[in-house]
Amino acid sequence: MDSDSVPRSDSFQLPVIDFSDQTLKPGSSKWDEVKADVRKALEDYGCFEASFDKVSVELKKSVFEAMEELFELPIQTKQRNVSSKPFHGYLCHNIYQSLGIDDANVLEKVDDFTQQLWPDQGNKTISETIHRFSEQLVELDVMVRRMIMESFGIEKYIDEHLNSTNYLMRFMKYTSPPDDDDEETKLGLRSHTDKNIITILHQYQVGGLEVKTKDDKWIKVKPSQDSVLIMLGDSLCALLNGRLPSPYHRVIMMSKKTRYSTGLFSIPKTGVIIDSPEELVDEEHPRIFKPFEYKDFIHFFHTEAGRRAQSALHAFAAL
Ligand SMILES: O=C(O)CCC(=O)C(=O)O
Ligand SMILES: [Fe+2]
CA distance 170 to 81: 11
Instruction: Give mean pLDDT, residues 1-22.
Output: 72
| Those residues with Cβ within 8 angstroms of residue 51's Cβ, 6 or more apart along the chain or in another chain | 16, 17, 18, 19, 20, 226, 227
Ligand 1 atom with least separation from CA of 259? 1
Name which of 49-53, 253-257, 266-270 the model is least confident about. Answer: 253-257
Predicted pLDDT at 5: 47
- Angle 59-211-150 from CA coordinates, rounded to 5°: 70
Predicted pLDDT at 171: 98
Predicted pLDDT at 9: 57
Q: How far is the centre of ligand 1, averaged over its atoms, from the C-alpha of 250 (Å)?
A: 7
Predicted pLDDT at 1: 38
pLDDT in tens, 236-255: 999 999 999 999 999 999 88
The residue whose C-alpha atom lies closest to atom 1 belonging to ligand 1 is 261
Instruction: Give mean pLDDT, residues 111-137.
Output: 97
CA distance 266 to 196: 6
Residues with CB under 6 A from ligand 1: 170, 172, 189, 194, 201, 203, 209, 249, 251, 261, 263
What value of ipTM does the predicted structure carry?
Answer: 0.99
Substitution site in 169, 251, 298 for ligand 1 pocket (most atoms within 8 Å of beta carbon): 251
Average pLDDT value for the chain:
94
Substitution site in 14, 198, 199 for ligand 1 pocket (most atoms within 8 Å of beta carbon): 199
| Those residues with Cβ within 8 angstroms of residue 192's Cβ, 6 or more apart along the chain or in another chain | 248, 249, 250
Predicted pLDDT at 255: 86
Q: How far is the centre of ligand 2, averaged over its atoms, from the C-alpha of 67 (Å)?
A: 19
Q: Is there a contact between 211 and 245 (Cβ–Cβ < 8 Å)?
A: no
Substitution site in 4, 190, 201 for ligand 1 pocket (most atoms within 8 Å of beta carbon): 201
- Where does the chain have alpha helices with state H? 29-45, 57-72, 75-78, 107-117, 124-151, 158-163, 183-186, 234-239, 294-301, 304-308, 312-317
CA distance 74 to 118: 12
Q: Is there a contact between 165 and 149 (Cβ–Cβ < 8 Å)?
A: no
CA distance 105 to 289: 31
Residue 302: count of CB within 10 angstroms of its CB: 11
Predicted pLDDT at 181: 67
pLDDT in tens, 54-84: 999 999 999 999 999 999 999 999 999 999 8
Name which of 19-23, 63-67, 297-301 the model is least confident about. Answer: 19-23
